[in-house]
Every structure is written in C-alpha cells, then in structure tokens.
Amino acid sequence: MPGPGLFPAIGQTPLIYLNGPSAATGCAIYGKAEFMNPGGSVKDRAALAIVQAAEAAGTLRPGGLIVEGTAGNTGIGLALVGNARGYRSLIVMPETQSQEKIDFLRLIGAEVMLVPAKPFKDPGNYVHVARRVADERAKTEPNGVLFADQFENLANRNGHATTTGPEILAQVQAITGKAPDAFTCAVGTGGTLAGISAALKASAPTTKIFLADPHGSVLYNWATGGELVSEGTSITEGIGQGRVPGNLAGVALDGAVRISDTEALTVVFDLLKHDGLCVGGSAGINIAAAMQVARTLGPGHTIVTILCDGGARYQSKLFNPEFLRARNLPVPSWLA
C-alpha cells in the first residue's frame, strides 16, 4: 500500500515573529509562513481540501482531470496534489500573471491555458472559461473531471477552519498563553480569511478579524459600507475582488484596511533586508494591514497574519526595477 506521501507536508507551517513590523508598532506581529508549503503558498491547503472532498464524494477517480481557473498558486497546489494522487491538471490563468508562476505550472506537468484578463462579469473571465472547459472535457474524460471552483467550493474555507485556524491558535497560545488579539488577511477566494476567522472566533470570540484589501478591489468598501465599489488599481496578484465569493459569505469581520502598492512594497523590501524573509505582494498587503491594526489597537497586542507565498515567484515584477519605475513604485535600494 502506498504511504501518505505529500499530504502530511502541507500545513503545520511555522509562526514567525516579524521583528521590523513589531518594533515599528510596539505590538507582537507574527506571520504564518505559508510559503513553506510544498507548492510554495497557502493555496496548497485549499488544493488538498478540495481534492480530498472530491475523492470522498466520488467525483475524482484515478487518471481523472482537475480543471481550475486561478491566478496561479491554487493551480500549482492542485497540480502537485493531483500528481501525488494520479490526476492530471488543466489550469486556466489570466495572461497578466507572473511568468514565474506560468513557467512553474508547466514545469510540474500542468496543461496551462492563458486567457486575456477580463472582469468576472465578462464571459471571457478566466473562471468562466475554466468552467466551460471542464464541462466540455467531462464529455470525453473516462475517469471524471473536477472543476475545483475554488471561489465557491466551501471545501476551501472548511480546510482552513480545520487546519490553519487551529494551528494559529495553538501556536499563539504556546507563546503568549492566550489567543491572538487580532488577525488580518487579504482575500482572493475568501477561503483563508473565512476559515481561519471561523476557527478563531469559535475558540476566542474576542479576537478581532480585519480584511486587508488592495486598491482596485471592491471588498474594502463592501466591508465598511456594503457597496461593491472599487477605487484605484494594484499590481498584486491573486487577491482583491470585484465581487463577494461564496467562500467569504457570512464571514464575521471587525473591520477592514485598504493598503496601497507603495505601502505593501515598502514592507516587502524592509522585511527582506532586515528580517531575511522574501515574500510576495499579498504578504506585503497582509503585514502592512497588521501594522495598521497594531497602531489602532495600541502597543502590547498580538496580531497574526499570513505570509501567503515567496517573493521569487514575482521576480519579474516586484523585484524588477524597470517594472516598478514605470509605475512610480519604490525600488529596493540594492536593485536601484
């Protein structure tokens, strides 16, 4: 009988004390090091939960096909989990995503379909294209097709409610003897924020939950005023929304914070130079939000956030001086 293989390596990531952000705010700010998952991001957890739920439901059989529309990280997680379980993967991505993610998906054996970046209301949006591709392939695939549907598939948030949330609670309690005072997280599918917040609120109702949002997303205005209105734009990938995904429905929020690309990049570069951590733009949004929350709560509080993935996945953008200067964004001193 085959052993457990890849699956036990997903999750149980370290909780890292972030020296620079903590010193700047007088609070203890911790980052959950999700870039240490096998696929390099927090999305490995959603991929595992979705595949396990499909297997339990009999949707997937050996040799079956997984289809998903993704900015990249969920696709990477699904492809790796699929490889470990004998499934193939077809990933539909907006062509604007980083070349590093596109190349890595192909490297690990996924079939990649690139489509123009279009809003969700457009039938050409990558999620809609993926759904149509899955429906079409289901007609000829003898071992079944799973449309992972990460935005609406509640296995996503349930996976975080049963793993990531309890891990954070146990780790913080082991350090401080109590639950975290606050948790911040950006939203792509909503699964990470909704699942973790459900677990934290169930065990520690006083923990405050804050949505972190980039410009160009409607979720800050939705969370603070109930309107699906966006302002500005952002270079961050995989987070921010023009709608409220099913995984986010019913989330219990205590507030929301909007973060600019300049704020996020400043955090990313400072964290690399002074803390030795190389993270992506979504982690920069999360940490900058945690710092804003820390300043609001005042010194002495404990705030946790998610380090979603690593910076090397965005070398051609976040660490490309020409790309940054063209958008009037800060350039790290060592690359200037």
Kindly list the catalytic residues. Answer: 43
Backbone φ and ψ of 96, nearest 5°: -85, -5
Cβ–Cβ under 8 Å, residues 308 and 279: yes
Spatial contact of 193 and 248, defined as CB atoms under 8 Å apart: yes
Q: In what order do the strands lie in the sheet with 111-115?
A: 111-115, 88-94, 65-69, 145-147
Judge residue 126's burial from the number of C-beta atoms within 10 Å of its C-beta, 0-12 exposed, 13-18 middle, 19 or more buried: buried
Q: Which residue shows structure tokens 């992506």? A: 280
Q: What is the distance between the alpha carbons of residues 317 and 321, in angstroms, rounded to a whole number?
A: 8
In terms of phi and psi (left: phi > 0; alpha: psi -120 to 50; beta: otherwise), the region of 26 is left
Q: Give the long-range contacts of residues 50-59, CB within 8 A, separation 24 or more.
A: 50/78, 50/146, 50/148, 50/150, 50/153, 50/155, 50/156, 50/159, 51/78, 51/81, 51/82, 51/85, 51/87, 51/146, 52/155, 53/153, 53/155, 53/158, 54/146, 54/155, 55/85, 59/144, 59/146
Q: Work out the angle at residue 307's Cα, subtended by the Cα atoms of residues 115 and 77, and round it to the nearest 5 degrees.
A: 45
One-character DSSP codes across 120-176: TTSTTSHHHHHHHHHHHHTTT-TT-EEE--TTT-THHHHHHHHTHHHHHHHHHHHHH
